[in-house]
Amino acid sequence: MREVNVVVLPGDGIGPEVVAEAIRAVEIVAADAELAITWREELMGGCSIDAHGTALTDDVLAACQAADAVFLGAVGGPKWDTTDPAKPRPEQGLLGLRSGLGLFANLRPVKPLEALWDASPLRRERIAGTDLLVVRELTGGIYFGARGREGDRAFDTCEYTRGEIERVAEVAFEAAARRRAKVTSVDKANVLESSRLWREVVTDIGTRHPGIALDHILVDNAAMQLVNRPSEFDVIVTENMFGDILSDEAAMITGSIGLLPSASLGTGTAGLYEPVHGSAPDIAGKGWSNPMATVLSAAMMLRYSLEAPEAADRLEAAVAQALNEGARSRDLGGELGTTAIGDRLVELLGR
């Protein structure tokens, strides 16, 4: 057996519920892959604020830095909402993890399953064949630039360095090499100087990957084409704010945010894996949440950090089969609860 260590951050709201079901499924495929996972559960987010007065303690960050991967449920909720900059917020834990682990590339796959095509707001013929990956730069841009107010004037600064762009572009091209060999870089180079640098650097990186096709598209056109012809995209790479917006837009192609996983990667093999959905405090404790996005996030963890791609394939296949056989949680118009969905996946994986 190969031994690995995973820090589990169940978080807030429905986080603990969906994480528990995902771990059940992972244990089955990991055992078959001769992978022994030691799960270390820690607090992060609102629950950590309640216990320690901060969203991420130094001890938890150190544990994450020493782990092979970090598996996260969800954080936040109205209990901790505040506009007071002196008070801790759950989201500060996420930012601390990204910074402390050196995570600069967020990966969001979008692949609508045929069983759910009718759940998408787009027509079946528009989404058929869609299989894209959004690679979002995670630690630069306007979210991290200088900001402030001067009287009636407010400003937020978008800044990028060549090195920041190079490293996320490399992630995109490497991902495309394992997929359909096409990268689409999204910017606003007709207006923004930071986007002109972005386009210049991505073009340079493209010359190092001659087998990968590269095209550039302005962000407003990208927003239109994601709903007009999503199947023509393979890997989309873009800066932080554009990626934040476009990845959420692309998410709705699937018909439910409850099915979308994500991975945040850095220079090493360790990464942070979490579902795209939030903590959904309105349904926490009711057993209604859909654990499938968390299971799919675990599949990404197995593939990218734990070197168990066959186990990842099995998890993804089980989710697809469950949906094809009619398993539906409330967000998909069905009645199955969190545990019932988990039971169904465990049953399929045990066959």
**188, 273, 304, 331: the active-site residue:** 188
313 counts as catalytic: no
**Active-site residue, selected from the candidate residues 111, 131, 182, 244:** 244
Active site residue 220: yes
User: What is the distance between the alpha carbons of residues 346 and 334, in angstroms, rounded to a whole number?
Assistant: 19
Determine which one of 79, 220, 282, 286 is catalytic: 220
Sign of the dihedral through C-alpha 113, 117, 118, 121? positive
Q: Catalytic residue at 248? A: yes
- Out of 32, 111, 143, 182, the active site residue is 143
Q: What are phi and psi of 147, to 5 degrees?
A: -145, 160
Please give the structure tokens belonging to residue 136. 């979002």
| Residue 235 · residue 184 · CB < 8 Å | yes
- Rounded to 5°, the CA angle 245-247-250 comes to 110
CA 274, 278, 232, 215 torsion-angle sign: negative
Both tokens of residue 146? 């200088």
Exactly one of 131, 248, 313, 343 is catalytic; which is it? 248
CA distance 30 to 27: 5
Q: Are 164 and 104 in contact (CB under 8 A)?
A: yes
- Euclidean distance between CA atoms 111 and 347, whole angstroms: 24
Question: Which stretch of DSSP H or E encloses residue 340?
Answer: helix 338-349
Q: Are 300 and 312 in contact (CB under 8 A)?
A: yes
Catalytic annotation on 188? yes
Q: 6, 38 in Cβ contact below 8 A?
A: yes
Helix (H), strand (E) at residue 240: helix 240-251
E strands, 12-152, are 35-41, 69-74, 105-110, 132-137, 147-150
* Catalytic residue status for 143: yes
Q: Which residues are catalytic?
A: 143, 188, 220, 244, 248
